[in-house]
Amino acid sequence: MPYTKNRPAIYYQKVGNGTAIIFIAPPAMGHLTFRYQTLLQDNFTVITFDNRGDCRSAHSDTKLTFSHFVDDVKKVLDENEISKAIVCGYSNGGLIAQQFAISYPEHTLALIMLGGYHSPKSLMLRTEYKIGIMVARKQWIPLLAKALAFNHFSDKKAANEMEIEIKKTNADMLAQQYQLGLNYENEQQLRNIDVPLLIIYGANDHYVHPYQNIFRNKLKDVEVAYVHRSKHQVPTKYFHECNAIIYEWAKRKQLK
């Protein structure tokens, strides 16, 4: 199985050819979040991985910072000798993707966010993060695994596979990951992002839609697409639409 050489070892998978897209999952969910984005492999090099402490990736004993998760993205790219990639983050993974574009502009070709926001400021988002912290601290990982898996996949086999992976997640690191996401604020740094940004929202994911206004005000090149009937689970439940939007946008932007 492919792991990065430097500790903590980060588990990743790579398929396909062409321009690289690296996908960043929300806390605990790991590489299987993007099992259907591997269908893009005919046109892109698709890289998926588990955040440190999540699923198959190793955990570390040091207190975590947001930079640890950002640097792990760079570590996976370095392991695969990829100097520049489209960076795509789903939900909280979008925060890591944004910070990667800010911290490593020379390695960022473009930015994609699925259900994207710049910081969890709304009451609903903050409540979700706080619930995640509580669940992790109480060691309720099996309960979280079942909820996340079956909320994201209609296919029972796919849901079962994700549930098994999530159960491997380190509870202490998960609590820290949620806390770092809850505290993240980068609105003043957004002007430092100088690459095309694509935001894909579920049309019924209403509570994150207003965040697009900040991105439109701060960035030069922003496109927003809505997936009809979808809520937050765009990459899993509406993957055909999600993948088609990514492909067409990358083609227009001459990124592939």
Task: Write out pLDDT tens, residues 15-64.
Answer: 999 999 999 999 999 999 999 999 999 999 999 999 999 999 999 888 99
pLDDT of res. 1 = 67
Q: What is the pTM of this model?
A: 0.97
Task: Write out pLDDT tens, residues 98-141.
Answer: 999 999 999 999 999 999 999 999 999 999 999 999 999 999 99
Q: How far is CA 111 from CA 104, 114, 171, in A?
A: 12, 10, 29
Q: Are 197 and 250 in contact (CB under 8 A)?
A: no
Task: Write out pLDDT tens, residues 172-190.
Answer: 999 999 999 999 998 999 9
Residue 86 has pLDDT above 70, yes or no: yes
CATH class of 12-120+186-252: alpha beta
Task: State the amino acid at position 36 in one-letter form.
Answer: Y
85-90: strand order across its sheet:
12-16, 45-49, 20-24, 85-90, 108-114, 197-202, 222-227
Nearest CA to 133 among 89, 81, 171, 178? 178
The domain segmentation of the chain, as residue ranges, is 12-120+186-252
